Amino acid sequence: MAKSPRVVNVTRGLHWKFRRAEKAVFECACEWVEYGVSVRDLTLAESISKRNLQAANREPLAYAEIPGLVFTGATDYGLIRDAHRFAAEASWPPQDAVNSTLARLETLCSQPS
């Protein structure tokens, strides 16, 4: 069916442009009664269920969170410092290897030639 220049919202009795009706359907505020001709407003429960279905159908993000793991931001700066220290200890190369390399470089640079 061809797109009508105006779409009727049967719930409110208004005439919308087709693009506005498409946007309302995409935002889960309305649904098509007859595509391109008329739409109707969704109830709150219908809108929520359509939004949930729409979110479930979308592809997940490339770096999604690990299921079951919830990040809660630290508000204490001591906890933030501990988190950074733990991250540094877990990083590669190990921090003691970096420290020993730095110590060797310092001794080599401090020796007179």
pLDDT (tens digit per residue) in 28-61 = 999 999 998 999 999 999 999 999 888 888 766 6
| Residue owning tokens 């190369």 | 93
Write down the H helix ranges in 1-113: 18-26, 44-57, 77-90, 95-110
Cα–Cα distance between 35 and 33 in angstroms, integer? 6
Q: How confident is the model over 59-101, as pLDDT tens digits? A: 666 555 666 666 666 567 777 787 777 777 776 666 677 777 7
Q: How many other C-beta atoms are found inside a 10 Å radius of the C-beta of residue 1?
A: 7
